[in-house]
Chain A
Amino acid sequence: MPYSCDNKKSDNIRFYFGEFDPSRESAVELGGVRQSQPFKSFISPARETVMGGNEPGPKPAQRHSLRSGTGRVIVAGVKACDLSSLILQDYVYLKGDVKDPFYAFRRDNTLIISCDCTYAKETCFCVAMGGRPYPTKDFDLNLSPQDGFFVVEVGSDKGREIVDSYKTFFKNCKNRDFSGRDSMRENVGLQIQDFIKKRGTPDTAAINGNVKKSYDNLPLWQDAASTCVECGACNLVCPTCHCFLLFDESARQKIGRGKVWDACLYKTFAKVAGNHNPRKYLYERMRNRFDKKFAFFPEVLGYFACTGCGRCIEACPGNIDIREVLKGVVTGKWKKPPHD
């Protein structure tokens, strides 16, 4: 359930997912903008045991909790920029010769109640990435907040089941309910378009093919990486980043294997035996991040691996702004924005 830290609608407001606590019901905010954590953490958690502990599948004896990941979970308030990352996460974890059974289990057992964005942050640029500030697919139920009620859209059989089981909570929409929803959607969309225009953020059509072309534009990558401290925050908060590290551990004769999120900005990410590192320089790792998102995924899947959620902009302690780097990629020129 998403909570807000503040009640004022400003760019400083942060939303975060938390386990539903009836005593804090008033702090729940289903609308607003995307949460600080990416939704991916519910289906591909930051850290999980893949051997010698929880194997995929329900464990009846265990409490159905978010943390153990062994039961059914309902996540409410999910925003469109998180939902549009699912096509990429599903491609990685469910396609190919072998599925990730841990991901598959969580995906099947997570009910998604999404919600329109009721306003936008300056860092939002979903529209440039081909998205919209309201969900169009990959949800079970979608809520569009209106004055004192929600316009509910059913997106799956599971969602239909809920509506059918709790008929008293729902009634048929009138035409003016839809027009109220549509005008809010349009307004938030225009707000984002305005942000995009002011900054000159390029869209997918402008970016297409240009990251590959910018590969040898070393000043661009070196300068973009010059304030990077290799914290990996951009990777970890990114809804499309999927890379992970397998690690082994043992304690008191018990052996376990874990899986944690990894970050391609980390120096050891691509390192092989004998200290050989194909991406030993930071700028190479920075470039690799853009290459993966704007060249690899379009090539193998036909989608850019960026949903325009803007989390990486907010998370970066080095003030690196993906929009500015993309501008550099498109124009071939690069002017580093002033540091705060």
Chain B
Amino acid sequence: MINCKNPYSYIEAEILNITTETSNIKTFTLKPRETIPFLAGQFMDVSVPGVGEAPFTPSSNHKIADKLDFTIMNVGRVTGLLHEMEKGKTVGLRGPYGTAYPIAEWKNKEIFIVGGGVGLAPLRALLYALFNNIDDYKKIILRYGARTYKDIVYINEIETWKKRAANVDIGVTVDVGDELWKGNVGLVTTVLKDSGVDINNAVSIVCGPPIMMKFVTFKLLDMGFKDNQIYLSMEKNMSCGIGKCGHCRIGPYYACKDGPVFTYDKLKNLPNIWD
């Protein structure tokens, strides 16, 4: 819940556990002093107290509100400092902000999830949200692409997802193959067509780097998906989280309150959305 008395202040959270996913990605399990209910797709600001904050989408099951996972790549100042932190240290959390994946609207549909790199983090929260009521969905298909075998996040967990239920179909591909990788080699865009998804009764959810989102969207459209069947998690410079600071504007929207999840029909006529 957003602190309406002071929306800019955070709740302290203890780092319960740190899992190293790849050479530059770690999953932090945080225990906030107050529970922070959220829905898959919404984001929060994680602070290094006294230093800075950055927006991340929780990657854990929203049903577990007292313990939240954040899967974070070391790419900048705040993420670099987070990566240096140890178990037991305190960080700040505020949020959740923005729109969630409308999973209640997706009952009896095929859910076609396409992830790239660390973009699997919010999709992991989505998968767990879908798994909570797994029989509500006809099929849950995930196609995930990472640069190399070493860049795959949740590598062991992915194996358990594969065995989760008969209606779950998980496929992983890497851009560049090596001797460690036995699976498919190729960009994630090359493994979408043969996924067997029933386009007329499906929604697609995409999250990854901007260039990947762009080409996956074009591929999905090419396959016959309609604009409003494609859900994109837009990465913009979300700061305040409440539509005031102005940094994350996309056309008439603020990614922090009108997004970060948008259907493509809302974005397609706006200039330079992939930049």
Residues of A participating in the B interface, judged by any CB pair closer than 8 Å: 50-51, 55-56, 92-93, 96-101, 215, 242-250, 255-257, 259, 262, 264, 269-276, 278-279, 284, 292, 296, 299-300
Contacts and interface: CB of A to CB of B under 8 A. Distances in A.
Given A50-B6, A98-B2, A278 B236 contact: yes
Given A242-B244, A245-B239, 6 more contacts: A100-B244, A246-B239, A250-B50, A255-B49, A279-B275, A296-B251
| Complex A-B, nearest 10 residue pairs according to Cβ-Cβ distance, in ascending order | A250-B50, A243-B246, A255-B50, A50-B8, A278-B275, A274-B75, A98-B242, A273-B75, A51-B9, A299-B252
Given A270-B236, A274-B75, A245 B245 contact: yes
A99 B73 CA distance: 32
Contacts of A259: 8
Contacts of A100: 7, 242, 244
A244 B237 contact: no
B252 A296 contact: yes
A275 B73 CA distance: 13
Given A215-B271, A248-B50, A248-B53, A93 B244 contact: yes
Interface of B: 2, 4-10, 47-54, 73, 75-76, 79, 210, 235-237, 239-240, 242-249, 251-252, 257, 271-272, 275
Contact of B244 (A244, A257, A275, A292): A244
| Residue of B54, B247, B248 with highest tally of chain A CB at under 10 A | B247
Contact of A273 (B76, B249, B251, B252): B76
A245 B247 CA distance: 8
Contacts of A275: 75
A215 B47 CA distance: 37
Contacts of A55: 5-6
A335 to B, nearest CB: 25
B271 to A, nearest CB: 6
Contacts of B79: 273
Nearest to B9: A51
Contacts of B8: 50-51, 246, 257, 259
